[in-house]
Structure 1
Amino acid sequence: MAPPPDRTGLRNAAIFDLDRTITRRGTFTPFLLSVRAQGPARFALFARFLPHMALYKTGRLSRTTLKNRMLAMALGGFEREEIAAHADRFVAQIMTDGLHADALAAIARHRAAGDMLILATASVDFYARLFAERLGFDHCIASPTDFDAARDAPPQITGENCYGLAKRAMVDAQLEALCGADRAKLNIAFYTDHISDLPLLESADAPYVVNPKPALRAHAQKADWPICSWIAQGGKA
């Protein structure tokens, strides 16, 4: 689909979610598992995640707390440089065969139109930034992390997990910082697969729903939003 028309003379903005919008699969848990060798070590780590995931599913744990516990279990004992190297390898692998080809085409169209490209994701910042850089985005908005002064302390999310209403607020703050008084005139296209992004979809000039699950599909049909069926690199589902 073509980018929205430029009604203002300002640079338009195209905002993309990452997981299952640009990528074929989620990235957070696969990244954490990737730091362990194939086989028993990965199974053991995933088994440690499961009780905490169950607490989250039953509403007894926040998303931020869940992610921080998983970060601690997976990355505790690794130095910052080791984590950065793991992140680089993980992103390189996903870039090879883990993206939607149609997402790459949409990004290229917006880039060719001169639009400002923004990646907005609940993924943690230290690997989300690598995706943004390699995909040619101008800005990256992600869940912010910090490393403790101790070199082997795992990264933890500081502040808001970039999800739902918090994601909308973080995007709004970034656009306000970039555009100032011209923020209200900016034309914004937004692409996502997930119903948690309804706050951003509802605020966008051109909302695009990508490979939605039934709840988001029904909402998109009611709102008359375009629904995109994107395929992966090599035509994979």
Structure 2
Amino acid sequence: MAKQAIAIYDLDLTVTRVATFTPFLLYAVVRAPWRALLAPLALPVFVAYGLKLIGRSTLKCALLHLFLGRPRRARLEALAEGFAAQVDDRYIRAEARARIAADRAAGCRLAVATASSGFTCVRWRSVWASTMSSQRKSPMPATDGYNSGRRGKLLCRSQAAPDRGVLPAARGACGAGYPLYSDHASDAPSFEAADQAVVVSPKAGFAQDALQRGWPVETWR
């Protein structure tokens, strides 16, 4: 079977105009309003995070368990699908839609690489899937490293579905120079490994650094 190249998109603030974690929590709580009464229990979690006693992954997992409990897979998937539709309607950047369409037309398989929990990843018809969601059997997240930001994202990119005849966007793997898109400086190791790094709407400091490294910077609205 011929190998198919893959273009990889960061999710929050690259494809979307907003970070999706908090909107997802609000979406879930609106559909189970009594869980809003548990909000005070989140305070010690935020305090621990502020004191650097726990990491971002543990923070997210704690909030998900607090405001979602341990739902059955069917309910969790229904929440994820409903939220995906809301994100698609409200938060997807127009330039992201255009670039996704262009990469598909070029014959590239598309993937979302994100530090978000796999089940919260948006599964648009124009996007292949989240490699994170395919790595997990449990519908709820755990602090196993896949939600740990830069290291976890680089890992799932490097292992992007080799059994499906898909090549990750690593240097030399994609002859046509298929790209990796992200907004954040923490993805610098992934940019360095990509055939083509595209920095999307970064903060000012990272924009200057990206240009110095020779990575094109694009503004997506």
When the two structures are superposed, what TM-score results if normalisation uses the length of structure 1? Answer: 0.77
Written as runs of structure 1 = structure 2, the 5 A alignment for 1:79-90 is: 79-90=72-83
Written as runs of structure 1 = structure 2, the 5 A alignment for 1:146-157 is: 147=138, 155-157=140-142
What SS is found at the alignment partner of 2:132? strand
Residue in 2 aligned with 1:235? none
* Contact 2:117–2:141 (CA under 8 A) maintained in structure 1: no
Using the TM superposition, name which of 212-221 and 168-177 deviates more.
Answer: 168-177
2:202 pairs with 1:202 = no
Amino acid corresponding to residue 170 of structure 1 in structure 2:
C
Q: CA deviation at 1:179?
A: 5.0
Q: Deviations over 1:30-65 (max 9, x none)?
A: 212211128x86865555434423432432212221
Name the CA shift for 1:55/1:146 in 2 (closer, same or farther; >3 Å).
farther
Which consecutive aligned stretches of 4+ in structure 1 deviate over 3 angstroms post-superposition? 9-12, 40-51, 143-147, 175-180
Distance 1:15 1:225 in 2: 16
Name the CA shift for 1:175/1:91 in 2 (closer, same or farther; >3 Å).
closer
Q: Which runs of 5+ in 2 are unaligned?
A: none
Written as runs of structure 1 = structure 2, the 5 A alignment for 1:165-180 is: 165-174=151-160, 176-177=162-163, 178-179=165-166
* Contact 2:5–2:173 (CA under 8 A) maintained in structure 1: no
Residue in 2 aligned with 1:218? 208
2:61 pairs with 1:68 = yes
Distance 1:106 1:96 in 2: 17
Amino acid corresponding to residue 207 of structure 1 in structure 2:
A
Using the TM superposition, name which of 118-127 and 138-147 deviates more.
Answer: 138-147
Percent of aligned positions that are identical: 33
Distance 1:185 1:157 in 2: 31
What SS is found at the alignment partner of 1:160? coil
Q: Which runs of 5+ in 1 are unaligned?
A: 1-8, 148-153, 232-237
Distance 1:45 1:24 in 2: 29
When the two structures are superposed, what TM-score results if normalisation uses the length of structure 2? Answer: 0.82
* Contact 2:3–2:166 (CA under 8 A) maintained in structure 1: no
Q: Deviations over 1:78-108 (max 9, x none)?
A: 3332222221111111111211000000001
Name the CA shift for 1:45/1:111 in 2 (closer, same or farther; >3 Å).
farther
Q: Which of 135, 140, 146 does residue 161 from structure 1 map onto?
A: 146
* Contact 2:118–2:132 (CA under 8 A) maintained in structure 1: yes
Residue in 2 aligned with 1:137? 127
Name the CA shift for 1:135/1:200 in 2 (closer, same or farther; >3 Å).
farther
Distance 2:77 2:179 in 1: 31
Residue in 2 aligned with 1:111? 104
* Contact 2:179–2:195 (CA under 8 A) maintained in structure 1: yes
